[in-house]
Amino acid sequence: PSQWRDGRPHQLALHGWTGLGGAMLPNQDTTQLYLHPCAVVQIDQPTRDFYATARVALGVAESLDDKEPARAHLLNALDDAFNMLDTREPFDEGFYDSIPRAHAALRAKIEAAGPPLDATIVATGHAHLDVAWLWTVDQIRRKAGRSFYTVLRLMEEFPDYHFTQSQPQLYDFVRQDYPELFAAITERVAEGRWEPIGGMWVEADCNLTGAESLARQFLLGRTFFREHFGRDAESRVLWLPDVFGYAWALPQLIKQAGLEYFFTIKIGWSQYNRMPYDTFWWQGLDGTRVLTHFSTTPEDGGFGTSTYNSDATPSQVIGTWTNFQQKELHHNLLMAFGYGDGGGGPTREMLENIRAMTAFPATPRLCQMDVGDLFRAIESKAARHLPTWNGELYLELHRGTYTTQSRTKRANRKSEFRLHDAEFLASLAAVLDSDYEYPAATLRHAWELVCLNQFHDIIPGSSIGPVYVETQKQHAEVQQMARAVQDAALSAIAGRLGDSSAPESTQS
């Protein structure tokens, strides 16, 4: 930006966090942190654009089968283009002069290498932000801020960039910590380029969380999106890419909360069995059916077989189509790209890849669009032919999460019970006593804390120790609020019953 080119020194501040970065690696007792060399550079845009096209062409060629003619055409195109570069003196005028010609030739030969596949991958930018995991909730507030600033900056450079982000709790942190960032996000939401997605307050665990809490996750989450982004921005898709299994009751809750579709990749991580479908009707206990799609994007060299953290590489784009099991039914698939778990989101390289692969030989077409609209398109094309899965979506992995950190699970259940009693008594008091003011704000805050701690790495027990110190404190706070509400409500009720000798509250 021009304001920095004033000939004066400027300070660049880098923030790093020395947390448990390497704790996932086997045989590593202590965390190893690396600071790789970094530099402030000036980008020569034509060179960078040429490099991006060449990178994608090579990636596609390497991902294609040897029998595919486009593979040889692409390798020849690259060979010819690089021969046109003037590399006698690195980075002199002759080199830069030769870039446009080489790039034009490369583009022309790529186009002549063959048609794209008759399949479309909808690529949506995403930053999976674990509200706590190998870091505490304090840290995710900063991670969200950094990730979202990056998104807005890259949106200025890439007009087609569409970003999808879940978890109202994160938006609420950003609203409190970075109000100007939140205002800028609101503008992008209004433009339709930033899609608030999902229905729950956080991406909550769906096995250990109580039934009423699941309903509250939807109530709090939906209300936040509606209050801050308007009714038009309310998501139709329950977005839970990383939750460790999905209860059979969920389809009914999804529909009753006003959502229509369900998205995950996690069942692809099952240890033994693969689900026979990637797009299907998921039927709940009561018979409610929800159109469900699993993203089939492969994880390059990673842990699971499918990912919500795609790097948008050619092999992942081609792999998304290759892995899809129901090619006879529809040709529109979802790929969520961008660094995730600790956030970060899409990078410039990923966005360049996607731009280059809009229509690339022997490769699925790529576009960026609203995820809700993709589900709508799948429904209109294939709804009548989709198979039905009638049962829970059980994950054959992470099983230890049912038994570890039992103190946290117990505290969650106690908070749920206490809030039930407090709400029941407060409602009764409000009916009996017109002077009694229903403590809506207190109860809402209490439910927000309970819902926050049902996040899919908190209540299952998969977070680091310091997370649970905070969780215990917050559950104690919730139970204290519930008790205060209960006592005040019992007082009001007792006063109306006209029995002045009755004790105000001896219940626990």
Cβ atoms of residues 348 and 240 within 8 Å: no
Report the nearest approach of Zn ion to the CB of residue 311 (Å).
17
3-state SS assignment for residue 328:
coil
Contact 187, 155 (CB under 8 A): no
Cβ proximity to Zn ion, 242 vs 370, nearer residue: 242
State the nearest-atom distance from the C-beta of 336 to Zn ion, in Å.
Answer: 12
**Cβ closest to Zn ion, residue 264 vs residue 412:** 264
Residue 382 beta carbon to Zn ion: minimum distance, rounded to whole angstroms = 29
Tokens at 450, concatenated: 């309970």
CB of 103 vs Zn ion, minimal distance in Å: 40
Instruction: Tell how strand 289-294 and strand 279-283 pair up.
Output: antiparallel
Instruction: Name residues contacting Zn ion, limited to 232-261 (CB under 5 A).
Output: 242
What are the two backbone dihedrals, phi and then psi, of residue 51, each rounded to the nearest 5 degrees?
-60, -40
Q: Which stretch binds Zn ion (CB under 5 A): 28-36, 130-138, 263-271, 495-503?
A: 130-138
How many Å apart are CA 420 and CA 392, to the nearest integer?
Answer: 26
Which residue in the shown chain puts its C-beta closest to Zn ion? Answer: 242
Element (H, E) at 182: helix 179-191
Smallest gap, in angstroms, from Cβ of residue 456 to Zn ion? 6
Q: Select from 38-46, 124-132, 163-171, 250-258 the region that touches Zn ion (CB under 5 A).
A: 124-132
d(CA 313, CA 350): 7
| The total number of residues written for the chain in this structure | 508
User: What single DSSP character describes residue 339?
Assistant: B
Q: Which residue, chain included where needed, has tokens 């709790």?
A: 169
* Interface region with Zn ion, contact rule CB under 5 A, candidates 117-125, 129-137, 324-332, 404-412: 129-137
Which residues face 164 on adjacent strands? 126, 195
- Give the list of residues 6+ apart from residue 288 with CB closer than 8 angstroms, or none: 251, 252, 254, 255
- How many other β-carbons are positioned within 10 Å of the β-carbon of residue 249? 16
CA–CA separation, 283 vs 384, rounded Å?
Answer: 15
Residue 120 or 295: the one with the smaller Cβ distance to Zn ion is 295
Q: Give the phi and the psi of residue 264 in degrees, each rounded to 5.
A: -155, 170
Question: Interface with Zn ion includes 205 (CB under 5 A)?
Answer: no
The three-state (H, E, C) secondary structure of 77-104, written as one string = HHHHHHHCCCCCCCCCHHHHHHHHHHHH
Least gap, CB of 280 to Zn ion (angstroms): 23
Residue 204 DSSP code: B
Provide the 3-class DSSP secondary structure of residue 284. coil
d(C-alpha 114, C-alpha 347), whole Å: 29
From the list 17-25, 36-44, 128-136, 292-300, the region that binds Zn ion by CB under 5 A is 128-136
- Residue 65's Cβ-count burial label (10 Å; 0-12, 13-18, 19+) is exposed
Q: Is 299 in the site for Zn ion (CB under 5 A)?
A: no
**127 versus 362: smaller Cβ distance to Zn ion:** 127
Q: Which x/- pattern, by CB under 5 A, does the window 467-496 give for Zn ion? A: ------------------------------
The distance of closest approach from Cβ of residue 128 to Zn ion in the complex, given in angstroms and rounded to an integer, is 6
| Ranges assigned E (strand) in 141-288 | 163-165, 194-196, 237-239, 261-264, 279-283
Per annotation, catalytic residue among 172, 242, 278, 311: 242
Nearer to Zn ion, 341 or 423 (CB): 341
- By beta-carbon proximity to Zn ion, the closer residue of 309 and 323 is 309
Residue 130 is a binding residue for Zn ion (CB under 5 A): yes
CB burial of residue 128 (10 Å; 0-12, 13-18, 19+): buried
Q: Which stretch binds Zn ion (CB under 5 A): 127-135, 279-287, 400-408, 437-445?
A: 127-135
Select the span of 76-84, 85-93, 125-133, 253-261 touching Zn ion (CB under 5 A): 125-133
Using CB under 5 A, count the residues that bind Zn ion: 2
Q: How far is the CB of 110 from Zn ion (least distance, A)?
A: 37
* Closer by beta carbon to Zn ion, 242 or else 423: 242
130/311 with CB nearer Zn ion: 130
Choose between 242 and 311: whose C-beta lies nearer to Zn ion: 242
Cα separation, 58 vs 69, whole angstroms: 14
What residues from 408 to 437 belong to the interface with Zn ion (CB under 5 A)? none
- Applying CB under 5 A, which part among 123-131, 387-395, 444-452, 496-504 lies near Zn ion? 123-131
Find the shortest distance in angstroms from Cβ 276 to Zn ion.
Answer: 25
Q: Which helix (H) or strand (E) holds 118?
A: strand 117-126
49 flagged as catalytic? no
| Contacts to Zn ion by CB under 5 A | 130, 242
Give catalytic residue positions.
242
